[in-house]
Amino acid sequence: MQRLIELFDCVWDLIEAAGVLAKRPEGHWNSRAGIPVASASPLEQFDVSKYFESALAAAEKWGSKHVSSLLRKAANSLVWSQNESYSEAKLGDHFMKNYATGLLTGSGAPFACQAPPSGFLLLGPNIEYPAHSHLAKEVYLVLTPGAEWSLDGENWFSVAPGEVIYHSSSQRHAIRTQETPMLAFAAWLESGSRSAINI
């Protein structure tokens, strides 16, 4: 449990220090107790798990040492999943084998279940997460090098490790990787169902 608290505080310290319009969720849900040690849904069930260590190593090399170390320790406590509205038919086999999210907070997550959903997105190399949108505002804290973003269908731009990206309500955003797999922390700033993502 302590490792989840430390991880939560670490990523939100970095996001708040970046000065974007986002503050860590606070509320009565923040009781921070009673969490099982082992995840009910481990990362190893997903093909993309084979990139987890190399993504962590890339994050460490590029300066996200503290958060990487906390994430490595906490990974087995996160609830790893894929969006229930995503499928091979919709997004293709390649995408589904190269994507998973380790939920930290929100419904079904191991921690702060009544808070908006947040967690760690792991993408394999040379993959595009197609443009999508959702009503909830969102922030991303990117931990690895080589990721690129496209907002509102505009040109791709590079995002450096440690950079924070803000998505306004219903803003379309797409992500792609190059040879390095991507790890990023993503947090919705309002409650909502991930199945309501438009993609």
How many C-beta neighbours within 10 Å does residue 12 have? Answer: 19
Interface stretch with Fe ion, choices 3-11, 53-61, 83-91, 137-145 (CB under 5 A): 137-145
Nearer to Fe ion, 76 or 150 (CB): 150
Q: Quote the least distance from Cβ 102 to Fe ion, whole Å.
A: 15
Length of the chain counted residue by residue: 199
Interface stretch with Fe ion, choices 58-66, 113-121, 130-138, 141-149 (CB under 5 A): 130-138
Q: Quote the least distance from Cβ 187 to Fe ion, whole Å.
A: 10
Q: Which residue is nearest to Fe ion (CB)?
A: 138
Nearer to Fe ion, 116 or 181 (CB): 116
Nearer to Fe ion, 60 or 138 (CB): 138
Q: Quote the least distance from Cβ 147 to Fe ion, whole Å.
A: 14
Residues 6+ apart with CB under 8 A from 19: none
Q: Quote the least distance from Cβ 15 to Fe ion, whole Å.
A: 15
Size of the site for Fe ion (CB under 5 A): 1
Rounded Cα gap, residues 99 and 19, in angstroms: 29
What are the residues binding Fe ion (CB under 5 A)?
138
